């Protein structure tokens, strides 16, 4: 699926672009350099060989006469100076072939038939051809027709030195290309780091704001383009901070304003509760309903006050060191409506954790209340040591939570959907969001999964750092 495709990071893509660009450029330059050097070397060798062979052919034409012995001709050919010491002259006198070095070059096997035909039919300008001999040696053969004794003069010049030179050049060009490619990658990495540094700073600042540091801002700097971006971002952050503070202040003010009449109402309800036995049955039922709604309303006000403190970053941890098992036992005892098992490894009884007792107690209580409201109560609480921290899991046998809802269940006022069969209308919708806020404040995390232990229901797991042995 498209959403599952993995893409390279922008820095990696920029670095790769530099590397590929350097590779492409050096490859083109290397090919062009190789072709130019090859052309120049071969052209130079051809001109030199043609010039020398023309002079040698003229000498041969003067030295060959009727009655000259093969030995005299061979001695003459051996003394001819070629363009290279390895150059070998070859002469055809009528139907006889005489070579300065028959081992190296002799006819007709050493001569290309097309060249022989071309030279026989050519003018005094001669002809040339490059080919490989039977042993694989590359040669340049130049031939001239002679006016004396129906003779043909050939001179073979090896090209293996040019091939060796070109091979060495090719290796050097490969090494240079590889070096330039690595340099391009290094340059791309450095350039991408420099170019993307402002983007990284924007990301860092955005993350700081996301975790609650509303005062985080970007350094405007001297670059006009980046200054525009930084100014716009800072203005956005300032507006966001003002909006959050205004919303939090509003929620706090409303909560405080509601507290006074709520306290009065609760006191009045207490008086009515004390005289409940004197009321009619219908009045008692109405009083029970009023008690439930007022309790829920009171919890909502308290939760809103707590949430407003988070929004303005007014919450701070009061860290204490305490025995985690002993602490959880007391929290469970304070929730008598839940009949839960408490499981922990025997070696964990002496484990000390550093945390905010009040907030951690609120976390566990909210998870137990959530299980009570929506799943008929928690079945088990399990605490384990995980690395340098502890995990606290609350199990229930409720209807479970749809996979699509698990990422949003910890959001404010999230109470589940009909499909998830959660949300009976009892809670405030803030309990799990407060759990997430308290846990995040400790540097931990909370998640919900299936209750694989019992095969039904949910498992809420809190991970907390700070184990002190």
Q: What is the pLDDT of residues 70-117, one digit of tens each?
A: 777 777 777 776 655 667 788 887 777 877 776 666 666 667 777 777
114-118, 222-226, 236-240, 453-457: which has the highest mean pLDDT?
A: 236-240
Sheet holding 152-158: strands in order across? 96-99, 88-93, 152-158, 138-145, 127-132
Q: Does the model's pTM come out above 0.85?
A: no
Which residue did the predictor score with more confidence, 132 or 154?
154
CA dist., res. 263 & res. 236, Å (int): 40
Q: How far is CA 308 from each of CA 166, 209, 313, rounded to the nearest angstrom?
A: 78, 16, 9
- For 153, 244, 373, 382, 461, the CA distances from 453, given in Å and listed in that order, are 99, 42, 21, 11, 13
- Reported as a pLDDT band with limits 50, 70 and 90, residue 35 is very high
Average pLDDT estimate for 419-439: 66
Segments of the chain assigned to CATH 1.10.287.130:
224-311
- Per the DSSP assignment, residues forming a β-bridge with 467 are 353
Structure tokens at 434: 């407060």
Asked if residue 340 lies in contact with residue 332, where contact means CB atoms within 8 angstroms, the answer is yes
Fold of 319-468: Heat Shock Protein 90 (3.30.565)
Question: In the chain, where does the domain assigned CATH 3.30.450.20 lie?
Answer: 10-164
Contacts of 29 (CB under 8 A, 6+ apart): none
Query: CATH 3.30.565.10 spans which residues of the chain?
Result: 319-468
In the CATH scheme, what is the homologous superfamily, with its name and number, of domain 10-164?
A: PAS domain (3.30.450.20)
Q: How many CB atoms lie within 10 A of CB 225?
A: 9
Q: Kindly give the pairing relationship between strand 341-343 and strand 458-465.
A: unpaired
pLDDT at 2: 42
Half-sphere exposure of 59 (CA within 13 A, CB side): 16
Q: For the packed helices 10-63 and 70-79, what is the interaxial angle rounded to 10 degrees?
A: 140
Assess whether the previous peptide bond of 108 is cis (omega < 30° from 0): yes
Phi, psi for residue 368 in degrees, rounded to 5: -65, -40
* CATH fold of 224-311: Helix Hairpins (1.10.287)
Q: pLDDT tens digits for 307-316?
A: 666 655 556 7
């Amino acid at each position: 699926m498209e959403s599952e495709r993995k893409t390279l990071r922008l820095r990696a893509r920029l670095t790769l672009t530099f590397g590929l660009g350097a590779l492409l450029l050096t490859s083109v330059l290397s090919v062009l350099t190789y072709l130019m050097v090859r052309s120049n070397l071969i052209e130079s060798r051809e001109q030199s060989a043609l010039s020398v062979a023309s002079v040698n052919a003229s000498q041969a034409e003067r030295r060959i006469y009727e009655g000259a012995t093969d030995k005299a001709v061979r001695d003459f050919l051996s003394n001819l100076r070629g363009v290279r010491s390895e150059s070998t002259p070859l002469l055809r006198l009528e139907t006889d072939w005489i070579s300065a070095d028959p081992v190296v070059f002799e006819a007709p096997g050493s001569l290309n038939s097309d060249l022989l035909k071309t030279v026989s039919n050519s003018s005094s300008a001669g002809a040339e051809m490059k080919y490989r001999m039977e042993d694989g040696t590359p040669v340049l053969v130049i031939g001239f027709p002679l006016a004396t004794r129906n003779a043909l003069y050939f001179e073979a010049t090896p090209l293996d030195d040019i091939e060796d030179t070109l091979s060495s050049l090719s290796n050097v060009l490969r090494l240079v290309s590889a070096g330039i490619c690595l340099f391009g990658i290094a340059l791309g990495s450095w350039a991408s780091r420099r170019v993307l540094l402002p983007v990284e700073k924007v990301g860092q600042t955005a993350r700081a704001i996301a975790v609650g540091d509303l005062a985080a801002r970007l350094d405007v700097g001297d670059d006009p383009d980046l200054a525009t971006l930084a100014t716009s971002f800072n203005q956005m952050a300032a507006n966001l901070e003002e909006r959050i503070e205004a919303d939090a202040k509003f929620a706090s003010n409303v909560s405080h304003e509601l507290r006074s009449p709520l306290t009065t109402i609760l006191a009045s309800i207490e008086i009515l509760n004390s005289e409940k036995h004197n009321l009619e049955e219908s009045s008692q039922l109405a009083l029970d309903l009023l008690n439930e709604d007022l309790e829920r309303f009171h919890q909502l006000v308290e939760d809103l006050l707590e949430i407003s403190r988070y929004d303005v970053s007014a919450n701070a941890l009061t860290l204490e060191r305490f025995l985690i098992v002993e602490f959880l036992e007391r929290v469970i005892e304070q929730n008598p409506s839940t009949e839960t098992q408490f499981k922990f490894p025997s070696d964990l009884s002496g484990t000390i954790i550093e945390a905010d007792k009040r907030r951690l107690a609120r976390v566990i209580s909210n998870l137990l209340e959530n299980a009570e409201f929506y799943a008929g109560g928690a079945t088990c609480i399990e605490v384990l040591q995980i690395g340098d921290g502890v995990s606290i899991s609350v199990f229930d046998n409720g209807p479970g939570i749809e996979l699509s809802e698990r990422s949003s269940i910890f959001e404010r006022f999230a109470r589940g959907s009909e499909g998830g069969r959660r949300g009976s209308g009892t809670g405030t919708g803030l309990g799990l969001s407060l759990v997430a806020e308290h846990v995040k404040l400790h540097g931990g995390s909370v998640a919900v999964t299936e209750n694989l232990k019992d095969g039904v229901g949910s498992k809420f797991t809190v991970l907390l750092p700070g184990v002190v042995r």
